[in-house]
Amino acid sequence: MAPGSDRSLSRRDSALFLLCVALSIVMLLRPEVGNWVTGVIRVSVMRPFLWMQQRAEESRTSRGSFDRLRAERDSAVYAAQFLPSLRAENQRLRSLLQLRDRLPVSYVSADVLHQSQPTDGRTLILSAGKKAGVRAFDAVVSAEGLIGVIRVVDGERSLAWTWTHPEFRASAFTIPGNVFGVVRPALELTGSDQVLQLRGVAIRDTVPTGTVVITSGLGGVYPQGIPVGTVIGQAAEETGWERIYLVRPAANPQNAEQVLILHVTRDTSVARAFTRESAP
């Protein structure tokens, strides 16, 4: 190949690279553009792939036999005694089944379609969408507690922000209900602890370690009574008018395989459904 043509090919490579980088940066700086583009991709190009993943998830988590499991759970427990991973999965399913029985509100159950990106867990693709009655701002819970909130709803799938998302916020209070605050993720560049912060606690209030934090229902997104986590100490960072407490989350979105999406009307409490799980 002539050197001139090689140079022009090389220039074209650089131009294509810079164009792709520029487009990526535009999407990073203008999230509304990126969200529109990815929304279109999700319901078109990615649809058959997500369908495939959903079938794979269903077969892995045995959701197809979810109802059968309810009838056979005792024998399944016995069989699973010898297999730790099966036992753990079975335990999660049993907890979820028990939670479903206790929930006083309507809900939709969904599988979590985990992805390979390192940011998986900040958002989750769920296998239920508009057709199943899912709406934006429905709360997402697992048997252990709060996972997040639905933000985008497609026909057959929905997208949830979890409590690890940098913009997640939830109004919460401590049991027995004397200290209110706002829960948000404790963002950090280094470190490895996945914790939440309970912020906005009045400087006159103190919260002992081990106190359970649950959603307060204020704001109308999360119903009252979903376990958020347990206080593990006070953050070093503190302003003049508020105390900040570190909260170990009740549920881990990265481990969630099945979740419940709650349809809650204002002023509904689901505290009784979680009583056993939220007990310290």
Partner 1 sequence: MIAIRADRGRLWTVLGMLAVLHFAVRPRIGYPAAAPDFLLLALMLFAIRSRPGAAALAGFLVGLAGDAVTPARVGAGALAHTIVGYFAAWGRAVFFPDNLFVNGLVIVFGVWARNAIELFASGPGVGGLTMQLLVWSPIQAITTALSAAVVLVVFQRWLDIRLEA
Q: Which among 275, 209, 279 has a CA at the least distance from the CA of 247? A: 209
| Residue 175 found at the interface with partner 1 (CB under 8 A) | no
Pairing of strands 123-126, 106-113: antiparallel
Which range binds partner 1 by CB under 8 A, 110-118, 141-149, 236-244, 261-269?
Answer: 110-118
Among 189, 265, 266, 279, binds partner 1 (CB under 8 A): 189
Please state the closest distance from residue 251 (CB atom) to partner 1, in A: 13
Count of residues binding partner 1 (CB under 8 A)?
64
| Residue 60 found at the interface with partner 1 (CB under 8 A) | yes
| Residue 190 found at the interface with partner 1 (CB under 8 A) | yes
| Residue 240 found at the interface with partner 1 (CB under 8 A) | no
Q: How far, CA to CA in Å, does 5 sit from each of 2, 9, 15, 16, 145? A: 5, 6, 15, 16, 62
Centre a 10 Å sphere on the Cβ of residue 200 and count the other Cβ atoms it contains.
18
Q: What contacts 196, CB < 8 A, 6 or more positions away? A: 163, 183, 184, 185, 186, 228, 229, 246, 247, 248, 249
Among 7, 55, 135, 272, binds partner 1 (CB under 8 A): 55
- Establish whether the linkage from the previous residue to 176 is cis, with ω within 30° of 0: yes
Q: Which residue number, 115 or 268, has a Cβ lying nearer to partner 1?
A: 115
Q: Considering only residues 125-144, where is the footprint of partner 1 by CB under 8 A?
A: 125
Residue 158 gets which letter from DSSP? E
| Residue 114 found at the interface with partner 1 (CB under 8 A) | yes
Give residues in contact with partner 1 (CB under 8 A).
9, 12-17, 20-21, 23-29, 31, 34-35, 37-39, 41-42, 45-46, 49-50, 52-53, 55-57, 59-60, 113-120, 122-123, 125, 159, 163-166, 185-196, 254
